[in-house]
Amino acid sequence: MRLRARATAAALAVGLAIALAPVLPGVGAAPPALSAENTPLSLAPIVRKASPAVVYVTVRGTIQAQSSRNPFFDEPEARQFQGAGSGVILDAANGYIITNAHVVEGATDISVTLADDRVVPAQVKARDERSDIALLQVKTSNLTQIPLGDSSRLEVGDYVLAIGNPFGLQHTVTSGIVSALGRSGINPDNFEDFIQTDASINMGNSGGALVNLKGELVGINTAIVSRSGDNSGIGFAIPVNMVKTVYDQLLKFGSVKRGLLGVNIYTVTPDDAQALGASDIHGAVVSQVFDGSAAEGAGIKTGDIITSINGQPVRTAAELRNTIGLLRAGDRVDVAFLREGKPRKVTATITEASESESADTGQINRGLVGAELADGDAGVVVKTVEATSLAAQAGLRANDVIVAVNRTPVASLKELREQAKGARTLWLDVRRAGRALLIVVR
């Protein structure tokens, strides 16, 4: 079960606690460095450097919850809540703090407890739900901001520390390693490129700092995988490079206006690479180019394999989606790709995406690659479908309306994405010209 490290339960009334995970091999703790004399060195200097910039975020508010008293009268009802999370000071002079968007969701009153135990009110300046990042501001002095690292330089096996406020235990420190990079799929609607770590992350760590051994911020702790809700050794953090991009847009524009290249894509698999006669090909295959899109204007065609954006390698469809999605309309980008095995490069001018844009079907399910989908009045509308695609071969046609996936009704792209993600077979209930059809895509 995948769970965010949410802190929507009542915050525990606990004093300040500083804890360093025990240095034991095999339990996710980072061993201390050794001096020239092979004596253990403490991680305390790193903690002293980074910890003052980590704050305890307390929220109060009202949510619309579903009543469980009677399923026949299941109407939303207002419920008061109090929760807690963490935050990181990025700009001490202006009092700007980064946390997770889900930490302050529905909040009407927010306060921040600083490392010196001062409690100050905070306000939400801007939020971006799809990256799960929120920008807070406090009006006070004598703040300490955290130095920023470069998450693109992280490697699996690097030691990291997680600093936050799990279960209200303020300024708790745990240690571990980077377990994996580029994780996605926790929330298919979001832009994700998570750092996976085994440093202990629990309820209340959301929005806290993941730091390297220089005391630099390399990520914002966001989610855990757990069956119980407690730490299981699998936690996720938003890379600081993505945080910086979102932070800059929230600060300048008050929102993130995501860019659109205008392609359907999927990740090149080893089988694809073998079919192309080159085992070392990595990138995102263009399965469809939308009419009037930035990609069409730049000359990108179906079958091209995009390998880099602005000189930064693209190894997966998720990487391409994240990179383009964090650009703004009007940005010009250099797109490098392979066409019939030959490298090419073009410059595209990014257009603005909206929540109602057609789905990136390669990110939903490979069985839907080549089908252009959009939200409709009574389901998901098939706008176009390539004749050679699996969906077309199974019988899907333009103007079909998908109303259920694998026997579960869907009324939007979001619901279709949730039901189709990862499925090896898609049973699509379709309405076509007033008739009901079942189409099976394998």
Catalytic annotation, residues: 102, 132, 206
Specify the DSSP element, H or E, that contains 251: helix 240-253
Cα 100 to Cα 82: distance, rounded to the nearest angstrom: 16
Cα 50 to Cα 200: distance, rounded to the nearest angstrom: 17
Cα 124 to Cα 85: distance, rounded to the nearest angstrom: 14
φ, ψ at 70 (rounded to 5°)? -150, 115
Identify the CA nearest to 47 among candidates 183, 169, 212, 177.
212
Q: Which two tokens stand for residue 385?
A: 């479908």
329 within 8 A of 352, measured Cβ to Cβ: yes
CA-based radius of gyration for the chain:
24
Please count the CA atoms within 13 angstroms of the CA of 143 that sit on its side-chain side: 25
Give the angle 310-294-420 at the CA atoms, nearest 5°.
Answer: 90
- Return the sign of the alpha-carbon dihedral for residues 390, 391, 393, 399: negative
Burial tier of 116 (Cβ tally within 10 Å: 0-12, 13-18, 19+) = exposed
Give the contacts of 37 (CB within 8 A, at least 6 positions apart): none
Give the contacts of 104 (CB within 8 A, at least 6 positions apart): 57, 59, 85, 110, 124, 127, 134, 136
| Angstrom distances, CA of residue 103 to CA of 28, 87, 134, 171 | 26, 9, 8, 17
Q: Which residues of 382-392 are buried (b: 16+ CB within 10 A; e: fewer)?
A: bbbbbeebbbb
Q: Scan for tokens 């009334």, then name that residue.
A: 13
Q: What is the DSSP string of 138-165?
A: E--SS--PPPB--GGG--TT-EEEEEE-
Query: Could you tell me whether strands 133-138 and 209-211 are parallel, antiparallel, or unpaired per DSSP bridges?
Result: unpaired
